[in-house]
Structure 1
């Protein structure tokens, strides 16, 4: 916590900030780039399958897709691999080992799509299963192959079916079934650790490709334009000190240096890394793994949480919320679940229920004036969802959202509808 007694403003920036500066930083922009087409990561194959309209997908959709692969009961790394489709896919992969390189993999997997993805049911487990087998076999990881073979031949469902079948000479006794189940659990734990490492290394391939792509999109005038935009956002706050929590990968250090010491003291934290440090990260929210009853899947997902990955970034700057923050201005962030941990921390630090801190959510509609009312409604609903989730998380009185409205401590402002006097029009005041 800071000791400065002057009021401070916290500015939370999402991808919409860079988009407002005409940076093509959407995932869909990356998806349509030549760099993406040269990207041969497993995730670059999985994400378009999970999100059919990947050409218009947002970052929150990608983060959600990663979370679903790791955590969702219907899509995660499940314990049942005894379907005819999976067996046929495994047999096909076996035939390809030694003769298929990484680039040709996608064509072969596409051939399996009808087997791996039945038309009426989407199941990612077999896909990751088969891809990981193919890739790891090329690295002579015999242990993984043994684990996968064991899982495919001895699934949990087979053991359960045997337990329920009548006793006969072909049915193993209960002691043998117990040993099979114990051995399978041991293999499964090891399998998850290996696959987790594999999927994380594959995600780093996507990150490196995106880093190269985004670097190519930054113009020489980025710092000046960013400085002007920041000045517009906080110019009417009365603060001479501003903390910027930047969820983008672009570096605002140049923009901050333009402010004179008398005009504004600026501190910046790139929460997910930045291009100049070569340490950008994609990931899931640390709250996601709390949903799981299956502790084994938590082991799989934990290395993918943003907090876990941030700990591995070298030269990570400390993120503290100053005690004198009187207003928090949000712009360009989707307020998605993937970053909820950060919002939870911020609201706790400013004592949102009892303090006088204001929440100001700014957004733009100039790009789509015909749908401005719909956009406004969606923003209002997203903000209310965030506040109500927070009050449930920390056990706050269930009137927190109403309290903020009554006290005038929450505003949703269309920056393209500010009146000529500079007075912002709040969506909640309609």
Structure 2
């Protein structure tokens, strides 16, 4: 008998690995650079008004004015290792994303244009408006006198040009190439975080300690083997150690050591005919099928072997709903006796309520995909009354 353990970035964070997007951001963006980016935004508005007034419909005049502006802004230092996606994410919304699923949401929002049906969508840059060739002053601000998505889209083009980055309006292929650079920059950051032997030792010790806590609190009656499905890019143990521990470990989005990590969007959010489909995790995994299909062990353990599916440290974001749907389908959570356990750390107020809402949303969303709609509507209630669904606080002693 085994338990399947699904891990997210919260696992690495609990092990004191600095893997938050915010931590990665501050390693690349100095205070001076963020001040420059904010100042550029303010000064670009003044230039853009002049640009619209002088250019009219004369395209040649527009380019001339853009060239003048580049000379005017030439005192800005060109930062190293700043990527076009860094700009899109930075200018995407107010504030730096806290979680990686927020980063993936900004990638989706940029690539897949939707009419502005909500307040939050009005100020998000997108690919359609980056390609917009008609520049008008009235588009700079929205009804609430805040910068519009159109303004941010044009700002990104200009700053990219200023920093000698590829033009994001050229094609989505260019953006995909830039996303791979973005992934590699994060990979180098994480590898550097584990360069120090002491840091690596602490990470491994913390990971072992945390796994033991999860195992014991999920199965206090008797020891059960674990099979790990990790959404992280890290693996704290070597293959030999995993064999000794009888522990299966799969990194579904690639591993640092194998130089194949991927960020992406959920396939359910994109039409397969759209060029943006090439940014989905599903599509990009298929491109890496050699590393997947040459493995001797399957990604998911045999359904007959799994007694419980445990989740820890995952945001349960919509970007990964396709994976959860596949897992729930494979283990037939409606008809089987498989138990679902969602562990959380009590590190801030209201975390329990937030986790319960996230779990409820996930199960309800999965229920909508079931062929039998009555079963789908009833799934959450069924799991609760059969005592096959629980949201639990994980008790963990201090880490190294």
After TM superposition, the score normalised by the length of structure 1 is 0.67
Cα distance, 1:406–1:26 mapped onto 2, change above 3 Å: same
Alpha carbons 2:231, 2:251 under 8 Å: kept: yes
Instruction: Identify which of 268, 285, 298 aligns with 1:287.
Output: 268
Deviates more, 1:318-327 or 1:388-397: 318-327
Q: In the alignment, which residue of structure 1 is the partner of 2:81?
A: 39
> Is the 8 Å Cα contact of residues 284 and 304 (structure 1) preserved in structure 2?
yes
Q: 1:400 — aligned with what?
A: 379
1:214 corresponds to 2:198: no
1:319 paired to 2:302: no
Cα distance, 1:251 vs. partner? 1.5
1:223 aligns with 2:224: no
Residue 277 of structure 1, CA deviation:
0.7
Give 1:64's match in structure 2, choosing from 80, 92, 105.
105
Provide closer, same or farther for how the CA distance between residues 133 and 331 of structure 1 changes in structure 2, counting only shifts above 3 A: closer
Instruction: Provide the C-alpha distance between the structure 1 equivalents of 2:393 and 2:325, rounded to a whole number of angstroms.
Output: 24
Task: Deviation per CA, 1:206-237: give whole Å up to 9, x if none.
Answer: 11111111112222212232122112111352
Alpha carbons 2:126, 2:149 under 8 Å: kept? no
SS of aligned partner of 1:273: coil
Q: Distance in 2 between matches of 1:284 and 1:124?
A: 24
CA-to-partner distance for each residue in 1:326-347, whole Å, 9 max, x for gaps? 1011000000011111100000
For 1:308, which of 263, 280, 283 is the aligned residue?
A: 283
Show the counterpart of 1:244: 228
Deviation at 1:11, TM superposition (A): 0.4
Match of 2:154 in 1: 127
Q: Give 1:131 shift.
A: 5.9
Q: Deviations over 1:124-160 (max 9, x none)?
A: 794399469959x998x9xx9xxx8xxxxxxxxxxxx
**Cα distance 1:53–1:12, how it changes in 2: closer, same or farther (>3 A)?**
same
Q: Does 1:81 align with 2:132?
A: yes
Aligned length: 321
Question: TM-score of the superposition, structure 2-length normalised?
Answer: 0.71
The residue that corresponds to 1:182 in the other structure is none
Secondary structure of residue in 2 paired with 1:330? strand
**Deviation at residue 417 of structure 1 after TM alignment:** 9.0
Matching residue of 2:175: 199
User: Map of 1:102-141 to 2, 5 A cutoff?
Assistant: 119-123=146-150, 126-127=153-154, 130=157, 134=161
**Alpha carbons of 1:126 and 1:9: their partners in 2 closer, same or farther (altered >3 Å)?**
same
3-state DSSP of counterpart to 2:284:
helix
* Worse-matched range after superposition: 280-289 or 318-327: 318-327
Of 94, 98, 102 in structure 2, the residue corresponding to residue 52 of structure 1 is: 94
Matched residues in 2 for 1:134 and 1:32: separation?
23
Q: What's the Cα RMSD here?
A: 3.4
Q: Deviations over 1:91-125 (max 9, x none)?
A: xxxxxxxxxxxxxxxxxxxxxx889xx83521379
C-alpha contact 1:10 1:245 (8 A) present in aligned 2: yes
Q: Secondary structure at the match of 2:395?
A: helix
Name the CA shift for 1:133/1:338 in 2 (closer, same or farther; >3 Å).
Answer: same
Please give the secondary structure, in 2, of the residue aligned with 1:388. Answer: helix
Native 8 Å contact 1:42 1:202 kept in 2: yes
Q: Secondary structure at the match of 1:78?
A: helix
Alignment match of 2:9 (pick from 15, 20, 24): 15
Aligned to 2:362: 386
Gaps of at least 5 residues in structure 1 are 1-6, 89-112, 149-193, 419-430
CA distance in structure 2 between the aligned counterparts of 1:114 and 1:60, rounded to whole angstroms: 28
**Local SS of the residue matching 2:270:** helix
- Could you tell me how far apart the structure 1 residues matched to 2:14 and 2:251 are? 18
Find the structure with the greater CA-based Rg.
1
Asked whether the equivalents of residues 289 and 301 of structure 1 are also in contact (C-alpha less than 8 Å), the reply is: yes
Alignment counterpart, residue 335 of structure 1, candidates 316, 321, 327: 316
Match of 1:265 among 246, 249, 268: 246
* Cα distance in structure 2, aligned partners of 1:282 and 1:242: 26
